[in-house]
Structure formats: structure tokens, C-alpha cells
Structure 1
Amino acid sequence: MYIKKILLIIVLLGLIVGGAFAYLIYNALFSPNTAFNNKEAYIYIPTGSSYDELKSLVIPLLSDIETFEAVAKRKNYIDHIKPGKYILKKGMNNNEIVNSLRSNNIPVNVSFNNQETLEKLAGRISTQIEADSISLLKAFTDTGFLQENGLTADAGLSIYIPNSYEFFWNTSATDFRVRMRKEYLRFWNDDRLKKAKVLNLKQEQVIALASIVQKETAKVDERPRVAGLYLNRLKKNMLLQADPTVIYALKRELGNFDTVIKRVLYKDLQLNSPYNTYKYAGIPPGPITMPDISSIDAVLNPEKHNYYYMVANVEDFGYHKFAIDLAQHNRNKTQYIRWINEQNINR
């Protein structure tokens, strides 16, 4: 009888200990373990992160780091940390948290437009993915990559079509470049290629001309007319004489693309630069900015007309007055110069 009591006590103690242990395991796995008030929180895990580095990222978001660590070890996550952007939702338990961090790298939207240089593009992209601006610029300007794709250094900006794209946050600089090259090839579908061929322009020339259209007018509905004007001038072997190209050349000469130039002076037209379309014929060697798709398509689908000249319309700001001949243009220009002098815009 005495032995039976002892055995019964041992069994009961075993059940209690086992139950307590099971409770602890269940609690560690399935009890909520988030400490933030928002519906969700994001964690950005850099490439090559150690567990200690990950731990420093999650500590502010968790109620109990020890139970998280126990589950992470049990699920063999500590030695298999992956970089990327991950989401934690309020009320998640440790099991869900570890599963999310292990296999739910979510993409980010990367958007860019109207960058004037590859340097500016690299800076813009570096704020949206893990790759820094230095590694991005190195990838963009890599001589081997440019030559492989038939691009000059001046035309390097051409292959980055402005839009919004999905990337994983931990995308490397070279992977970003490769993806954008694929997007560029996808953009140039058969229809666009045929239209460029009809214009007798290479793809990079279309984009360089579109960049001038982009800078000339912010009005999307006016872009086909502006594009038609420049194409008319090209057909007649006339200089493009586009003020935005002179402004770009001046900024390039100064080495500062943050310079604000509101007025092109007559002396500026003498600047010796292949981007100065008052001095050099044809399309510049590269884009003077990153044109919107609307500007590219405006070049490929220009308005048919007989205009060769234009000047800003001071009676309808944002738009231009167009002219067929120089006499009409000079009348329009006189009105513009009078207005700009009244504004005391000297530079």
C-alpha cells in the first residue's frame, strides 16, 4: 500500500511537471508576443546580419525576447537568417513571428522619374532598397555593362524607364541594373520599335529627344506638338535650338546639377558643349533628364503640323505659342522677352 502511494505521488508529480512544461511550450509558441500598438510593424534585415544584429532589431517590437529566442532556436532559424523586408502583425505569437521572418520577404515599390543624371538616380534608388548610392552608381556606369548593351556613358541614363516597380528590399545594385535592362527591353515592344524606325531614330535617340520635350513642357497634352516641332527641324537639318539643352550644358560645365537657371542668356549660346543645340546639330549624345513615358510616346506619336518655332506663352502659362515662320516667331518672342524683363529675371 505504501509503495502504491509513492508511485501515485510520483505519477501525479510527473503529470504536474509535464503539464507545466507543456504549458510553457504552448505559451512560448502560441501566446501573443508583440509589444507595438500599430496593426503591423516592419523589419528590414540587412544582408549578412548575425542573430545578435537581428535580435537588436526585434527587441523593441517583442514583449518577451527570451521565448522568441527559444522558439527561434527550436525552429533552427538562428543559423538561417535571411535579409529583406518583413512584416509583423499585432498579436502574432512566436511561431508566427519566426515563420514570417524565415519565409515572408515582402517586396517594396521602387519609383523614380525625371532624374537628370545617373548620380541623382543612384541617390533616389538608394533611399528605397538596401543597395547604397555608391554601389548603384558603380553598377550604372560600369564600362563592361554599357559596352555590352551598346551604350555610351552619355546614354547610360536611357535604359531606366521611369515608373513604379516591385523589388525585394535586399536587391543588390547589379541585380537592380539587370532588372531595369529587362524592363527597358520590355518597354521597347514591336510597336514602339516600328515607330522609331519610321522616324529613322535609334531607341536612345528617341529618349534623348523625349528628354528635351520633357524639359520644354510640363503639359502632357502639349508634348506631341512640341515633339512634332523638333522632328520638323530635324527633317530640315535645322539646329534644334532648345533652351533646356543649354541649361543642361551649363550645369554640366559647372559640375552642379542643383544650379537654378531660369533664363538663358545670349552668351550662354556660345558654350562649347555637344549638348548645346544652338551650336551643334542633331540630337544630343544623351538625355538631359529622364523623360516620362508620355514624353517618349509623344516623340513616337508626334502631332503632324508645320511648326518650326515656339516660345513660352505668357498669356497661358505652361503652354507655348507656335509659329510656322521666323517672322511670326519673332512677334511671339518680343512679347515673351517683354514679360520676362518685367519680372526682373536675369538668370
Structure 2
Amino acid sequence: MADSDSNKEFLDKKLQEKLHIAKIVRKTVLTVLIAFVVLFAGVIGGGYLYVRSALKPVDPDNKEPVKVQIPIGSSVSQIASILEKNDIIKSAIVFKYYVKFKNESGFQAGNYQFNQSMTIQEIVERLKKGELMGEAAIKLTIPEGLQLSEIADIIAKHTPYSKKEIMNQLTNQQFIKQMQKKYPNTITDDIFNGRIKYALEGYLYPATYSFYEESPPLSEIIETMIKKTDEMLVPYRNKMKELSLSTHQFLTLASLVEEEATEKADREKIASVFYNRLEKNMPLQTDPTVLYSLGKHKERVYYKDLEVNSPYNTYKNKGLPPGPIANAGKQSLDAVANPADTNYFYFLATKEGEVIFTKTLDEHNKEKAKHITEKD
């Protein structure tokens, strides 16, 4: 009986000890959990307050202008760091994630004027619109349909650089490789085809460019135009995939449309003729490629010109030429991305600028007899 009471007392003691330990464990876990929740809430609350503060102007009352230079080719992270360094924004990290969250893009390089009272969205809009400070020291207007050497003439006319210096830069392999590294979606290995006359032909976008230095680096001038091409091609990337065209092929085809089109031309129909011919494995037979092969401009293309021995001559070679023959504007890019649905295989431009489309060679010859003097 004594042994039984002793065992019962021992078991009760052990049970009490277990209950006591369990109570301590529960209290400890609860304490740790409360501490974690408080800490987590503090972090979340602190983070929220930090972000909310960082999204506000640095100083709402300070409108003193601050000059900020955004170099060509700057990434969003680099732009954010520059703005933070110049006390235009409170946090480069918050700015970067704000831009990402809002899906903002298309920031332009240049010399800007900001102030500390600006909101982040105001800063973003200014960077997108390219609202630069003061008058441009150099303004270059590059029209559509120009060849690389013609663009070099315009640059030489408005800058301290000679045409020879410009063409040397445009054909410099090291510079071209640098551009490929910066803009890999646009400058691809396709431009290194040995049959291509100029690797960057067709890659300098037609637009007006402003520079705020008297003598901006030549590399910066050219890169600005390449960067613009890279930006302009973004909306067409999916279309290129649908059409099974590389960037190089897309720009090449757009350059043909650009060179064939007149002010009154229906570029979508011109593009459709090229697509229809490519599908039937017919030579494109477009006169601008002959002129590019000859290396000169002429009012008329004669039969003897069609025999020029060049990979660009689309009378002698089927398919697309090795590369673009000029720079193409947005209208031509749109036409290549969205060609008309036609059965046309021929077209010709009249002296009045009208473009006549036909389905058969017989129809084409009849229209040519009506509107164009026979070539020599």
C-alpha cells in the first residue's frame, strides 16, 4: 500500500513538472510571437512611411532650378542615382520601383532642369517628353528615306565634324560592337553580313535631334539616333515574330517601302506587293535597289542599269537585299507591320505621284504604256 502511494505521488509530481514546463513553453512562444508581430508591424509600418515619404517632393517650397545631365544610354537605375545625387528625389530605389510599377519607359538623354518641389510623376513626364533646358546648341533634322552618307552630310553641316570623320565613326567596328552590346534587340549579328555595304545603314532613325553642347561627342550623336530606332521598334517586336521577320529584315523591307512611296502612295499596298512577291519567290524588282547598287541618284532607271552586278540589285537577285537601303519612317514601319491584304504583284508611280497597282504583268504593261515613257 505504501509503495502504491509512493508511486502515485511520484507520478503526480512528474505531471506537475510537465504541466509547468508546457506553461513556460507556451508563454515563451507567445512572447516570441508577440515580439515578432510587433517587429513585423514596425517594419511594415516603417517601410510604408518610408515609401510614402520618398514619393513626396524633396522640398515642396523650393523651386530653385537644378541642372541635371542624363547621359545617352542611361538605364533607369542610373537615372535614379543621378536624380538622388542631385537631391531631386529622396530615394533612387523607390524611384526605380515606381517607374517599374507604373510601366514607364522612353526616358530621353540630355541636359534637364528640375527642382525639389517636383513630384516623381512630374519628373517622369519631363524625362519622357524630353523637356530640356534652354535652347539647343545643335539641332539635326534627319528626314525619312536618307542613306547613311546623306545623314553624314547633315551631321557635318551642323557640327564641327567632317564627313570623313563621321563615316569613319559609322563604319568603326569597335563602335558598332559597342552599340550591339547596348542595343542587342536592334543591332544584331545580321548587320555583319559580308555583302552589306554599311552595317548601320537604315539604323539611324529619321527625327529631329537636339544637343545642348557646342561640340557633343560624335559617338553620342550617332548613338542618339540608334537609340531612337531601338525605342521605335519596341511596338513592332510581336508583329515581327508573327511575320517571321528578324529586326534586320523588318528594317530592310521598310526601307524599300520608304523609297518606293510617294506622298500620295498607299504604303500598305506597296508592302503587300513585296510580301506577295516574296511568297511566290519572285524577284522584288524595285528600282531604288538598283540606284543603291549604282551608288547614285537618277531621275530614271534604264534597262542597262538593271544589269548592275550587286547583291542589292533586286532585278538580278531574289528575296530581300542584304540590308536596308535607307532609313524608314513610322509610316513605312507601320505598312510593313500591317500590310494590306491584296492580290497585287505590280505597281508603278505616275508623274503626278499616284501609284497604280495591278495583278498581272499584262495589266502592269498596259498601265506603264499609258503613264510612263518606255525606258531606253
1:231-260: CA deviations, max 9, x gaps?
Answer: 11112211101112112212x2xxxx3x4x
Please tell me the residue identity of whatever aligns with 1:319.
Answer: E
State the Cα distance separating 1:139 from its structure 2 match: 1.5
Q: 1:140 aligns with which of 170, 190, 193?
A: 170
Residue equivalent to 2:364: 329
Change (3 A) 1:295 1:105: closer
Q: Give the CA deviation at 1:104.
A: 6.9
How far did 1:203 drift? 1.8
What corresponds to 1:204 in structure 2? 248
- Partner Cα distance (1:106, 1:323) in 2: 48
Q: Which residue number in structure 2 is paired with residue 239 of structure 1? A: 283
Change (3 A) 1:243 1:178: closer
Which residue of 2 is the match for residue 13 of structure 1? Answer: none
Letter in 1 for 2:368: K
1:304 is aligned to 341
Aligned mate of 1:123, from 128, 153, 161: 153
RMSD of Structure 2 on Structure 1 (CA): 2.5
| Corresponding residue SS for 1:159 | coil
Query: TM-score of the superposition, structure 1-length normalised?
Result: 0.60
Q: CA deviation at 1:161?
A: 0.5
* Alpha-carbon distance in 1 for matches of 2:165, 2:362: 52
Runs of 4+, deviation exceeding 4 Å: 103-107
What count of residue pairs does the alignment treat as equivalent?
230
| Counterpart residue number, 2:232 | 187
CA–CA distance in 2 between the matches of 1:162 and 1:220?
20
Superposed CA deviations along residues 273-303 of structure 1, whole A, max 9, x for unmatched, are 1111011011111222222221222111211
| 8 Å contact kept, 1:220–1:295 | no
Structure 2 letter corresponding to 1:146: I
Q: TM-score, normalised by structure 2?
A: 0.56
8 Å contact kept, 2:346–2:357: yes
Tell me, in whole angstroms, the C-alpha distance in 1 between the residues paired with 2:135 and 2:365: 60
Q: Is this contact kept in 1: 2:253–2:324, CA < 8 A?
A: yes
- Gaps of at least 5 residues in structure 1 are 1-102
CA shift for structure 1 position 324: 1.4
CA offset digits 1:67-125 (Å, max 9, x no partner): xxxxxxxxxxxxxxxxxxxxxxxxxxxxxxxxxxxx97845432112464322211201
The match for 1:27 is none
Question: Which residue in 2 is equivalent to 1:230?
Answer: 274
After the TM superposition, which of the residue ranges 162-171 and 141-150 deviates more from structure 2? Answer: 141-150
Q: 1:130 to 1:305 in 2, by over 3 A?
A: same
| Counterpart Cα distance in 2 of 1:130 and 1:263 | 36
What amino acid is aligned across from residue 249 of structure 2 in structure 1?
Q
Q: SS state of the match for residue 158, structure 1?
A: coil
- 2:202 maps to which residue? 158
Distance in 2, matches of 1:106 and 1:219, equals 30
* Pairing partner for 2:325 from 288, 311, 314: 288
Identity, % of aligned positions: 32
Per-residue CA distance 1:14-66 (angstroms, 9 max, x = gap): xxxxxxxxxxxxxxxxxxxxxxxxxxxxxxxxxxxxxxxxxxxxxxxxxxxxx
Measured in 2, the distance between the counterparts of 1:104 and 1:320 equals 44
Rounded to whole Å, the distance in 2 between the matches of 1:166 and 1:276 is 36
Report the CA distance between 1:212 and its aligned residue: 1.7
Q: CA deviation at 1:312?
A: 2.6
Of 169, 173, 176 in structure 1, the residue corresponding to residue 221 of structure 2 is 176
Conservation of the 8 A alpha-carbon contact between 1:155 and 1:204: no
What residue in structure 1 maps to residue 77 of structure 2? none
Partner Cα distance (1:283, 1:204) in 2? 10
Contact kept in structure 2, 1:220 and 1:294, CA below 8 Å: no
- Alpha-carbon contact 1:130-1:171 (below 8 Å) kept: no
* CA shift in 2, pair 1:108/1:147, >3 Å: closer
TM superposition shift of 1:174: 1.0
**2:177 and 2:311 mapped to 1: Cα distance?**
21
Alignment partners' CA distance in 2, 1:320 and 1:105: 42
Q: Is the 2:265–2:355 Cα contact (8 Å) retained in structure 1? A: no
